[in-house]
Chain A
Amino acid sequence: MTSFPFASYIVAAAFAVAAITMIAGALIAVLSKRIIRGVGGLMICCIGLAGLYYFLQSPFLALMEILIYVGAVCVTIVFGVMLSEPDEPKPTDRVADLFGAIPIRSGRFGLWGAAAAFLVCTLIGIGIARLSLGGPWPVAPARVSDGSVAAIGIALLTTYSLAFELISLVLLLAILGALVIARSGRTKPPSTAHDQLGILAAQVTAPAPPSDTHPLVSTTAGHEPETAPR
């Protein structure tokens, strides 16, 4: 790279592209009123962040950022939005447009709320700035491991094993919660004892799926949805 003319400028430009992408994505995510555009901004922000990770010599982290945050988290958010509400933005006045997402029209808190939020943000910003500028940096930023699969696996199962196990516990709980939520609406609660008996009888005497059908079909023959395309 050193022999190439303007190499350092190219590297600086690439860094600038990553940083600007991240900041622009974050601004879009915060300022846009359509929630889907906000998620799009979040996605752009994550891609920029991945670029910054790459500059910090962590290609594995950069790629995981894209795989998980863009490929999974953003997709999940959009999916949730799609299933929940239409995102037609409500008509707002000019002042609110100027200030983006700040809800100036709301009567009781109005500008005071915005001012308080600004104050809190400023305090947090000053605190973080003081910490990062004044506090000691004990370890110089350096490459910890070679980023290979083996190194990451060893780190996950030795140094960070507690965090690893906690994350797996959280994920397990999430799966169980999803199962509970999904199962709760599936079977109609029987209203009377008679109905309950009837359902039980139907379950006991339900005919086995015909054996001459395709194996894929037979696995689902029990609970075919009513709206299945014929």
Chain B
Amino acid sequence: MTFLNLEPIRILLYVVAICAFVGLNAAYLVLAERKIAGRVQRRPGPNEAGWGGLMQPFADVGKLLAKQILVPAGTDTLLYRMAPLMVMAPPMLCLMAVPYAEHFVARDLNLGLLFVFSFGSINVMALMLGGWASRNKYSIISSARVVSQNVAYEIPMLLVVITLLMITGTMSLQEITVQQAGGFWHWNVFRVWVNPLMPVTFIIFFICMLAETNRAPFDMAEAESELVAGVFTEYGGMGFGVFFMAEYSNIVVGCCLATVLFFGGWQSPIGILSGGAWGLVWFMLKTYALITTVMWVRWTFPRTQFYLLLNLSWKILIPISLFTLLLTGAMLKLPLLWKALF
């Protein structure tokens, strides 16, 4: 066991585990998505392969892997092949910094929050390069949309995170989790005595996460009713599959982050059944509840129009998040000023 506890071996094991998790998780999230879509649209969804459709992901993956990887004529070959790679690597790196349980984290960075955001920001570049390399007018329109959408939604997201950072005072994800110990009323989302707008903050974070991961109702990058398949138009086989895996991994990263920042990470909501493996159970329950919400939102709301999407960010979300930032600063520092003056 001492050999396994050595730092490089431990990291290597975590990398392997995260690779396996990302693949399996994406495959089964596709199934969950299709099942939820079926539920919402009053049809059974995939139910032929395996028991109630449980083997469907393996059938899909087998089909995608068996397809020839085709590079269409006229594309920028190098960038076309690089884009799926670049879109897949960042979410895997981000998962390295997430604390899944008290002692279950690949690398407990004291800048974990910044780590996740900095590597998360590569995603947009990769999608855009993929769209550009395809040399297809739909792809290029779509990549222009991806950029303006991501730039617009990065701002309120970072403002919200800065608000949270002012309250927690640390960027270590593990420490943020530890601060929220002792029942669900200590979770950041319910800390209304620090800032009465905390639930609003979470809603802004959630909306921005939907937009950043290009999920409906903000899936302007794909928009299959207007742009064929957007950025992914020219991709087939596993190239397309990798883009989808990356999308689901990004959702997982976003939901993990929301869980850590707002819902107490691996802390038990009621104070009992905490510690050890229960932490992992609570973390996964919260994360997958959020992921289910993401899917539920996708199949409930229709796709917005593009300029409405940008207006939502620039005219509504950014002013509100700026106001929250100011309010939090005031509520944190005004009592000190009061004490100093009187």
Q: Which residues of A contact B (CB under 8 A)?
A: 1, 3-4, 7, 10, 34, 36-37, 40, 43, 59-60, 63-64, 66-67, 70-72, 74-75, 78-79, 82-83, 147-150, 216-217, 219-220, 224-225, 228-229
Q: Which of A36, A71, A79, A83 has the most CB of B within 10 A?
A: A71
Which residues of A sit under 8 angstroms from B144, Cβ to Cβ? Answer: 79, 82-83
Contact A149 B171 (CB under 8 A): yes
Which residues of A sit under 8 angstroms from B129, Cβ to Cβ? Answer: 36, 40, 78
Known contacts A3-B6, A75-B151, A149-B169; A63 and B118 CB within 8 A of each other: yes
What's the least CB distance linking A7 to chain B, in Å? 8
Which residues of A sit under 8 angstroms from B119, Cβ to Cβ? Answer: 66
Q: What is the CA–CA distance of A217 and B304 in the complex, to the nearest angstrom?
A: 10
Contact A37 B170 (CB under 8 A): no
Q: What is the CA–CA distance of A75 and B123 in the complex, to the nearest angstrom?
A: 10
Q: What is the CA–CA distance of A219 and B140 in the complex, to the nearest angstrom?
A: 28
Q: Is B121 interfacial (CB 8 A cutoff)?
A: yes
Interface residues of B in 1-42 (CB under 8 A from A): 6-9
Contact B128 A78 (CB under 8 A): yes
**Do most interface residues of chain B lie in helix, strand or loop, or is the interface mixed?**
helix
Nearest residue, chain A, Cβ from B141: A82
Q: What is the CA–CA distance of A40 and B170 in the complex, to the nearest angstrom?
A: 33
What are 17 pairs between A and B in contact, CB < 8 Å?
A4-B7, A36-B76, A36-B133, A37-B76, A40-B79, A63-B114, A66-B119, A71-B118, A74-B125, A75-B124, A79-B128, A79-B144, A82-B132, A82-B144, A150-B169, A216-B308, A216-B316
Contact B170 A148 (CB under 8 A): yes
What's the least CB distance linking A69 to chain B, in Å? 10
Contact A219 B311 (CB under 8 A): yes
Contact B118 A149 (CB under 8 A): no
Contact B114 A67 (CB under 8 A): yes
Contact A67 B151 (CB under 8 A): no
Q: A71-B118, A82-B143 are in contact. List 17 more A-B contacts (CB 8 A).
A: A3-B6, A4-B7, A4-B9, A37-B79, A64-B114, A67-B114, A71-B121, A71-B122, A74-B125, A75-B125, A75-B128, A78-B129, A78-B147, A149-B170, A224-B307, A228-B307, A229-B226
Which residues of B sit under 8 angstroms from A83, Cβ to Cβ? Answer: 144
Nearest residue, chain B, Cβ from A217: B308
Which residues of A sit under 8 angstroms from B114, Cβ to Cβ? Answer: 60, 63-64, 67
What's the least CB distance linking B146 to chain A, in Å? 9
Q: Which of B125, B144, B151 has the most CB of A within 10 A?
A: B125
